[in-house]
Structure 1
């Protein structure tokens, strides 16, 4: 019965082991587990009680398509805003996404993974971190392909050339151009297609009915946020006059009555964004992709955004999500995000979480859950305390898993859990039981002595990748560019940087050895694995292919290639711990979509991975 009791304890957030200050691993007794379950309101005094409780919380597993039970697939990940094309307006958009899928599908890719598409603050484009959304239920209108809308006026060629030419997304200027065009398109739509009994009008009204009060509240917030910014207030409601901080106030009711057209505009933006995203998924599947779009769910929301304003009863106030001190961050991390309330999730049996998941999935075939450990616990920091003075708060894992699995099955969507960082004991076993794929990063997959794990040592139920948006690109890692950058920003001193570079060179040799042992290393690089030559100073195409083939040989169900690594980019998307010092979430790719198909790295690496992971009939 111990195994079943352990499963029940895990489901209610009770750790099955811990390490004391002397370094000894300790295990709570069965009696301790039973008593703790009792405190949590679970009767587990007898074996039959345990079985009954397990049956009550048994959730259907998340969706895994039948073909993926025996096959392995691969795909490409990218930052959508960073896509360049001859037609976009200085930021990647839903049409670029569809065209990338149409390009990658025939190459053998089965998915395109992208950064969170959540709504940010339309009134303040300088809030552009995709992981600090105003709402996770709705989309960022800046991703709308304006040139695909009837009635949208094109800006002058010089304005488009200006926003398209730079290597960084100019969010304020992109927002100014797109907002003007979207307003014009909406005004013309109101004068024709959105009136009367037209198909356009029927489609819009159906969308409004489907999304109901949450859509209206979100659009109200967006319109109110614009009005506040115009008066010199911040876009977030914490800085608004007191009368507007409560959506039920008389002042807000009056604003709603007086600004119906602007509120309708923001609902229309969401309709257009949802339609274009669904079109991108349809075109991805038409291109042969068996999964299509692979979207991303942020772990929390901005504390002063639409979600916390419109649903205050569902979020915790006075705390921020972060992570405790670890080997990489001695002071811990403060992500500045507001979490869902565990009490609210408990009270409504996880339905709230299911709604968030359903909105985040949209038309997609896969969903990545950022910081998947939030299903069990979150590290929360009280408002007046530093990041190192937080604590873990447990969440109703059983109810959240039920909601997640049910929604995944209904939407036929694969779920990937980003299980990196401080992971609770046995949490990964809970994930596997729920058919949530893990997240395995090449840079971190090591033996105890520092050697890279061979491909066969990777687990089957996982997505494997070389790097992530928070880590160096492969080219940047090989050249120790990330170390140079951190030293230049004063994040590490010269002595530490020198030691880190020496360790990185050793890691490059370790990787060469792992590649040689797995049979993917070109013969000309073999001497470096035997200490007869120095490893290459720069990442060669042959070496890039070898690393990608190495990962493709793992048994992992999914493998993701970063588009940055397929285009020779050296800079990463995000450098954690920086704000103004580093252009996070702004970098564009070095190549346009039109150049991508013939780019040597893209062509040769995707061909090599497709050969290692061919689609089976």
Structure 2
């Protein structure tokens, strides 16, 4: 090995950049040196003056190397102070969970002391549903579902016996750009999707819009934005008084509103995608040009701040509706793995992010060519030097009005597949994240919010990852299509992990009916996403169907010959998954209804109508259909609340 390569590899290892990785099939891969070099060139690994250490309640905490010894002052989060003694680099055990500070002479160390685990699911075995909020239909005709529609759906599902309702992310998007509607590529995860706000909370009713099978975002979002502006401009002062009161002193909200107003201005002027395309004087959120713009366009900034306030009130109302209707958990919020680098977070807090890198996944069964999600993520180096401020804020914003949180791509808590700008998705490498610190923060925030934590542990899973999740009571996901033995046979759900959530599918997988009919195979070949022969794949699918039917028959939830019709197969798959020993079963509404099309096809943008599909009726009407009533009865019998 040359000296240059040796030095490169050493520098990569020192910052947690992995030169070797193992794929889902167990094969070892080596990252090319030029890829390592390109990634290293983007990383800001500088430390800061702020030291951070995490630990567990009741256990001594090892302090950073070189920390002073002897007497120290511990300031607890609640304000109490006590004297402690540091010996051999160890801080004596702390009984109180929370965020504390240790002062040793002139040295200050931030502490995150966590409960041993995240909050547990309630006792028993019960079920919930999963929905894409815009797909929902309400009592009046609108172009897409909003948080008011979600509240109605929660009441309907609660009446049907569901104890939880998992929802698509509600992170802030780009209100002025109707083309940015993917919930997994947000502008910021610190705020919410302004145009999902429920106008009924301020006594307003949107004008009716034709309900189409596919949402036309290019019409729907501008129309809702323009109408909401009219409502805001005409609202009496008394109606806006709660908003004015809550906004006072919210510098973070002001930054989000300024971004949205500026983005709308420059998007209208020259189709500027993100803040990087704005004139240079507007790149600094604390600069004179931004302050002048905000003063001259105060009504625009006020409007976007109002939309954020209304969206948060709407989310709170939806969770309240779920709990009032009897759900034990209520909403399970979804935390996207990252954000658009050109969005509000990247503008107002850009030092938080992995600038110059996008994140994704190496080639795996979900994405055979690898995936570049076109978003970036929080930098592990920035997290350490800021006391994990951005992560804490992000978790709080996501779970503030929910009984649970699902972490998309939870593998990103341990490592992120990072891709240098301009490279194909397979030319990336894994960057280590501060896994233990992040898990402890999740445990603290889980208990504070009274929310359970679910992690999407699918794809290329590092050895020991699931064991660590279970120890910290982060519930994994056991998704029926993926739960197979080494011979490819479906496993008995009764043997699935107890510290996991059972699921029949996700927004990224074929629906049960679509899988049974081979709709996913049709899409794969229509979009030239499969190298195999379609006829051969359909023959293979018949064999897989036989395996699933045999597993269901052996479990006593199916009988008779294997059907061609998807409907009885959907019943059998639901009944089979309901036998899982997992405490919670989550069923996508598409599977309850027997819909063939899936909400999202990973790795596509315009080729498949991702995030555009609308449900065929209101939630209450769908749940009243005989075949759906039969399925919810089946779930209630197998998993009584």
Residue 72 of structure 1 corresponds to which residue in structure 2?
125
- Say which SS state the counterpart of residue 339 (structure 2) adopts: coil
Give the alignment partner of residue 248 of structure 1, picking from 270, 286, 294.
286
Residue 185 of structure 2 corresponds to which residue in structure 1?
132
Indicate how the Cα distance of structure 1 residues 60 and 42 shifts in structure 2: closer, same or farther if over 3 A, else same: farther
1:211-226 equivalences in 2 (<5 Å): 212-226=250-264
**TM-score between both structures, scaled by the size of structure 2:** 0.82
**1:566-593: per-residue Cα shift (whole Å, max 9, x none)?**
2221111111121111111100112223
Give the alignment partner of residue 204 of structure 1, picking from 237, 243, 261.
243
- Say which SS state the counterpart of residue 426 (structure 2) adopts: helix
User: Deviation of residue 246 (structure 1)?
Assistant: 2.1
- Say which SS state the counterpart of residue 231 (structure 1) adopts: helix
Q: Would you say the 8 A contact 1:13–1:377 is kept in 2?
A: no
Indicate how the Cα distance of structure 1 residues 50 and 561 shifts in structure 2: closer, same or farther if over 3 A, else same: farther
Q: Distance in 1 between matches of 2:606 and 2:338?
A: 22
Residue 220 of structure 2 corresponds to which residue in structure 1?
174
> Is there any run of 5+ residues in structure 2 with no aligned partner, and where?
1-14, 29-62, 67-86, 95-110
Residue 309 of structure 2 corresponds to which residue in structure 1?
271
Is 1:500 matched with 2:553? no
Q: Would you say the 8 A contact 1:146–1:181 is kept in 2?
A: no
> Is there any run of 5+ residues in structure 1 with no aligned partner, and where?
1-11, 26-39, 195-199, 529-534
Indicate how the Cα distance of structure 1 residues 517 and 354 shifts in structure 2: closer, same or farther if over 3 A, else same: same
Indicate how the Cα distance of structure 1 residues 510 and 387 shifts in structure 2: closer, same or farther if over 3 A, else same: same
Is 1:348 matched with 2:386? yes
Q: Would you say the 8 A contact 1:353–1:404 is kept in 2?
A: no
**1:395-435: per-residue Cα shift (whole Å, max 9, x none)?**
11222122211111100000000010111111111111111
RMSD of Structure 2 on Structure 1 (CA):
2.7
Residue 3 of structure 1 corresponds to which residue in structure 2?
none
- Say which SS state the counterpart of residue 238 (structure 2) adopts: coil
Q: Distance in 2 between matches of 1:473 and 1:149?
A: 37
1:81-92 equivalences in 2 (<5 Å): 81-92=134-145
Is 1:237 matched with 2:243? no
| Equivalent residue pairs, number | 556
Give the alignment partner of residue 577 of structure 1, picking from 599, 603, 607.
603
Residue 565 of structure 2 corresponds to which residue in structure 1?
538
Instruction: Identify the range of structure 1 (396-405 vs 450-459) with the bigger mean alpha-carbon deviation.
Output: 396-405
- Say which SS state the counterpart of residue 504 (structure 1) adopts: helix
Q: Would you say the 8 A contact 1:62–1:415 is kept in 2?
A: no
Is 1:374 matched with 2:412? yes
**1:91-132: per-residue Cα shift (whole Å, max 9, x none)?**
111121111111111222101111101111001011100000
Q: Distance in 1 between matches of 2:614 and 2:509?
A: 16
Is 1:385 matched with 2:404? no
Indicate how the Cα distance of structure 1 residues 170 and 148 shifts in structure 2: closer, same or farther if over 3 A, else same: farther
Q: Would you say the 8 A contact 1:131–1:298 is kept in 2?
A: yes
Indicate how the Cα distance of structure 1 residues 519 and 273 shifts in structure 2: closer, same or farther if over 3 A, else same: same
**TM-score between both structures, scaled by the size of structure 1:** 0.85
Q: Distance in 2 between matches of 1:320 and 1:168?
A: 29
Q: Distance in 2 between matches of 1:421 and 1:176?
A: 37
**1:242-280: per-residue Cα shift (whole Å, max 9, x none)?**
222221332212111211111111111111111111111
**1:271-322: per-residue Cα shift (whole Å, max 9, x none)?**
1111111111111111110000111000000111111011011111100001
Runs of 4+ in 1 over 6 A off after TM superposition: 12-15, 17-20, 22-25, 40-43, 48-58
- Which one has the bigger helix percentage? 1
- Say which SS state the counterpart of residue 237 (structure 2) adopts: coil
Indicate how the Cα distance of structure 1 residues 594 and 291 shifts in structure 2: closer, same or farther if over 3 A, else same: closer
Indicate how the Cα distance of structure 1 residues 355 and 469 shifts in structure 2: closer, same or farther if over 3 A, else same: same
Residue 6 of structure 1 corresponds to which residue in structure 2?
none
**1:30-77: per-residue Cα shift (whole Å, max 9, x none)?**
xxxxxxxxxx9669xxxx989979998873245435xx4531221000
1:196-595 equivalences in 2 (<5 Å): 201=241, 203-209=242-248, 212-493=250-531, 495-521=532-558, 523=559, 525=560, 528=561, 535-540=562-567, 542-595=568-621
